Structure 1
Amino acid sequence: MNRIPLLVRIILAIISGIFIGVIVPEEAIELFATFTGLFDNFLSFVIPLIIIGFIAPGIASIGKGAGKMLGLTAGLAYLSTILAGIAAYLVARNLYPVILERQNAGGMENPEESLTEAAFSVEMTPIMDVMAALIFSFLLGVGMASITNGTLINVMTDFRSIIHKVIEKIIIPLLPFHIFGIFANMAHSGQVATILSVFAKVFVMIIVLHLVYLVAVYGIAGALHKANPVLLLKNLAPAYFTALGTQSSAATIPVTLKQTKSIGVKEKVADFAVPLLANVHLAGSTITITSCAMAVLYMQDQAVSFMSMLPFILMLGITMIAAPGVPGGAVMAAVGLLESMLGFSSIMVSLMIALYLAQDSFGTAANVTGDGAITTIANRLIGISKKSPNLKNKQAG
């Protein structure tokens, strides 16, 4: 089963959930609801551990980088991520009232009230809330970066490996069954048509936003290097399509590194920036999470102002640091913020996960392709190379 790509498993879960939900009796739906309730509780318990396990070591490892190159590259990555999230919010706020005009019907305002309830539940109280986990992670990460003794860093690295295994071996394999249960319940209650209509429209909008983002960031890179941005983007196409297949920024690093060097970025800059950006630059994922969150809120007929969304986007940019290198890692890291800052319920989180995972590979592809542009911009601003002969030669050819 694990050999089947996650996207395929998610699609099969949605389709089979809809079909089964229409034909099975209430007792079967209650069984599915019980599983999804248990999974929701387990996910709530694990979220603070994910935050601590990945953000603290991520901040510590970045803090041990070298001076100007680190600060500039990380700053560009964060700025790119935040601007991408803000752009996604603005587009969604203005476009959703048009393309989702009929999708915020009364039946979706309080979906929990019409869904079948679980037969029983098991309380799994998190060891701390999300904001406490974030603050603790920042303090721990900064502290580990400032000390010379690596004992605690080694402990946290091992802890990250454990949490990575939990995500990879438990959460990700069970997610399709969780989504199956959610859609079976919604199909049984008659809500699924609205959800599918939203999925299709939001999916197309997100892909377009990814492409617009890449054109914009490569336009900036091309302007700084006095190079053709279309040519730069074309040279990074192998990284884009590799990420589509692997759904992993980390697995695409060798391709991104090779293609970035081929457009004239100095080897020293590329070797440092590309692996760093694979962990801290998730502009594509931020576009997806912001767009999906806005869609779920819109379906609930919940308006969200820019000043309410901005803190979420700013925190999201930080939370994306060292997001797990597994499919769906970014949305797993963001679940805590969705619940604590945007007030997402368990059903809303489930819809969010399904929306995100349906196009996870495209978000990852936008992330790694954007890494090439950010590295190119950093190469210019750092001042290591005043000229880029490879770029000029490629244009001449």
Structure 2
Amino acid sequence: MFSAFTRLSLVTRIVIAIILGVLVAVVTPQYAPYLTILGDLFIKALKSVAPILVFVLVLSSIANFKVGSSNAYIKPIMLMYAAGMFLAALSAVIASIIFPSTLFLDLPAQGELTPPGSLTEIFRNLLLSFIANPVTAIAEANFIGILAWSVALGIAFRHASDTTKGVLNDAANAVNAVIRLVISFAPFGIFGLVAVTFADAGLNTLMSYAQLLTVLLGTMLFVALVINPIMVGFVTRANPYPLVLQCLRESGITAFFTRSSAANIPVNLDLAKRLGVPESTASVAIPLGAAINMAGASVTITVLSLAAVNTLGIPVSFTTMLILSVVATVSACGASGVAGGSLLLIPVACGLFGISSDIAMQVVAIGMVISVLQDSTETALNSSTDVLFTAAVDRGMR
């Protein structure tokens, strides 16, 4: 049976793991906690290997870069990232107008959380991340710093001998082999994650925020199935849905349960390779996307901020909502690629409407309550969009 299981495609094995995980959570929830180790090991393995993977691949790609190669595609990919985040925020504004949500602002403020105070602070933190110590950047999974150092060293190694460049290429291949081994254990990790998540949270806790969750998840699905396909179709001049659905299926499902764009980088790099994207493009665009491409985060920031505005009865003009879309887009770029990274940026958007930090932190607390579904869906959208836009630009340019 195990041999037959391993011969199935990875996606099929993951779907089977999800079904089994739900069955365990429903039929024998008392045993679900014992499966925690499976999910923890899988996520830990992904997070451990992702920083060194990004560092080695980007360094090797740039060191072996040849003029006129596919790295010319990076600029249009970045433009798609920016446009996708803004359109996602704008979609969230429209959804919040059509289906206004209210919050129960009676939760205790989460004093231990320290959100950034302004957009200036977000930019400052991003700039400081660029010049972080390289060893510290890898140890702390600071992907902005990792990218900065790998690009700088990659440019320096372009003047190295062919032997040295060959060593870098061999190192990249070795890390890729480790990644393939880690990804092969995805079904077991996801089985544990699903069982524990459904057994602990269930749906009872989420019922009181059904309206808010519907707006959040509905908007993210609209972005994934309408906005993104329109953008991809415009770039590729072909039916976008086969590519969109493949990225959602093979990247989004894994990201949904790991709840970390950073941890899903290896999955996206493997998928990009199978989609025919040159490694020189994927090894730069996808890690960068995991750091700054946060369409789901811009939806979360916008919807929760406008829910607070609606609850407090603050009048908002259409111009202010457009400004909010821009603020949410820029703020989302500063969201960390870990679970719950976007929630701490909600006070930045709330500050646009003069909402106090105490109330804003209560909104963050509500976000924590619904994060079982909100954050998982957000990460699935964020991470699948990284590989989707990268593959779309590659196909369109070719």
Tell whether 2:216 aligns with 1:206: yes
Shift of 1:241: 0.9
Paired with 2:206 and 2:376, the residues of 1 have a C-alpha distance of 19
Paired with 2:222 and 2:116, the residues of 1 have a C-alpha distance of 39
Match of 2:3 in 1: none
Tell whether 2:266 aligns with 1:231: no
1:74-85 residue pairs with structure 2 within 5 A? 74-85=78-89
Once the two structures are superposed, residues 173-227 of structure 1 have per-residue CA deviations (whole angstroms, 9 ceiling, x without a partner) of xxxxxxxxxxxxxxxxxxxxxx977611121222222222112213432453344
Of 96, 104, 109, the match for 1:92: 96
Match of 1:72 in 2: 76
Shift of 1:307: 1.9
* Residue 294 to residue 231, structure 1, CA distance change in 2 (3 Å): same
Tell whether 2:288 aligns with 1:276: yes
Once the two structures are superposed, residues 46-90 of structure 1 have per-residue CA deviations (whole angstroms, 9 ceiling, x without a partner) of xxxxxxxxxxxxxxx9xxx99854433222211110110011101
**What one-letter code is carried by the residue in structure 2 that aligns with 1:221?**
V
**What one-letter code is carried by the residue in structure 2 that aligns with 1:268?**
S
Considering only aligned residues, what root-mean-square deviation do their CA atoms show, in Å? 4.1
Shift of 1:367: 0.8
Shift of 1:285: 1.8
Once the two structures are superposed, residues 119-145 of structure 1 have per-residue CA deviations (whole angstroms, 9 ceiling, x without a partner) of xxx9x9x9995354245446657xx6x
**What one-letter code is carried by the residue in structure 2 that aligns with 1:71?**
K
Paired with 1:312 and 1:156, the residues of 2 have a C-alpha distance of 37
1:119-130 residue pairs with structure 2 within 5 A? 129-130=117-118
Is residue 300–residue 342 contact of structure 2 (8 Å, CA) maintained in 1? Answer: no
Match of 1:220 in 2: 231
Of 366, 371, 382, the match for 2:386: 371
**What one-letter code is carried by the residue in structure 1 that aligns with 2:298?**
T
* Residue 202 to residue 154, structure 1, CA distance change in 2 (3 Å): same
**What one-letter code is carried by the residue in structure 1 that aligns with 2:275?**
I
The DSSP-based 3-state class of the residue aligned with 1:320 is: helix
Is residue 282–residue 320 contact of structure 1 (8 Å, CA) maintained in 2? Answer: yes
Is residue 327–residue 349 contact of structure 2 (8 Å, CA) maintained in 1? Answer: no
1:230-249 residue pairs with structure 2 within 5 A? 230-236=241-247, 237-249=249-261
Shift of 1:91: 1.6
Is residue 235–residue 263 contact of structure 1 (8 Å, CA) maintained in 2? Answer: no
Paired with 2:240 and 2:301, the residues of 1 have a C-alpha distance of 27
Give the TM-score of the pair, scaled to structure 1: 0.56
The DSSP-based 3-state class of the residue aligned with 2:229 is: helix
Paired with 2:335 and 2:76, the residues of 1 have a C-alpha distance of 20
State the number of aligned residues.
Answer: 267
Paired with 2:282 and 2:119, the residues of 1 have a C-alpha distance of 34
Shift of 1:281: 0.7
The DSSP-based 3-state class of the residue aligned with 1:326 is: coil
Which stretch of the first structure deviates more once superposed, 236-245 or 368-377?
368-377
Match of 1:361 in 2: 376
Tell whether 2:303 aligns with 1:291: yes
* Residue 264 to residue 275, structure 1, CA distance change in 2 (3 Å): same
Paired with 1:71 and 1:218, the residues of 2 have a C-alpha distance of 20
